[in-house]
Amino acid sequence: MTPPAEPAKALAPGVVPPDTVDLDGFHLRRPTSEDAQALHAAVKASFAELHPWMPWCTEPVELASQQGFIERSETGWSAQTTFNWLIVDAGDHLIGTIGLMDRIGPGGLEIGYWLRTDATGRGVMTRATARVTDIALSLPGVERVEIHCDAANVRSAAIPRRLGYRLDREAHTEPEAPGESGLNQHWITP
């Protein structure tokens, strides 16, 4: 029996986005093991807002979970399958994460994100997502970027809508987090 073929990667070997990205008033940077405590604190501070939408955000919020995220981020970056950045404000406080994931097939990358509750409402995530979209589309072989979110997560869906993404399709899925309706929206760059 022949083993199944591995799916084609979105990026050519050796192609990676920048390690850091400077934006007005904040920046994106790759996480390091020293960030685990700050990441843990940010998740705990935003648990009520993250838990309904993020299957990984469960009680109790364990430091080991954020340490695992950082380790998977490093492995994914090396393998060119996941590119995660921390969102850090001008005071060097960790306020969220954003990442590109190679899980939607050849020619495409998916963006995932979350922002600390006390950092919302200032356009940070919209600006970070716009910049990461531009970075992704500038990479050789990337023709489209997608954002997936549950239809009930209106705050998350507002970002691709604001940036001119179009709603490509909706798919019924089994809810994975308590707030999910089971209707997954797939937003795609125009």
Dihedral angle over CA of 121, 150, 175, 85, nearest 10: -60
Report which residue type is found at 125: M
Length of the chain: 190
CA distance 5 to 47: 39
CA distance readout (Å), 173 to 6, 76, 96, 150, 184 = 24, 25, 26, 9, 7
- Which DSSP helix (H) or strand (E) runs through 161? helix 154-162
Q: What pLDDT tens digit does each residue of the chain (190 aa) get?
A: 544 445 556 677 778 899 999 999 999 999 999 999 999 999 999 999 999 999 999 999 999 999 999 999 999 999 999 999 999 999 999 999 999 999 999 999 999 999 999 999 999 999 999 999 999 999 999 999 999 999 999 999 999 999 999 999 999 999 999 999 999 999 999 8
Q: Which domains, ranges and CATH numbers included, belong to the chain?
A: 20-188 (3.40.630.30)
Strand segments (E) across 90-182: 94-101, 108-115, 144-150, 166-172
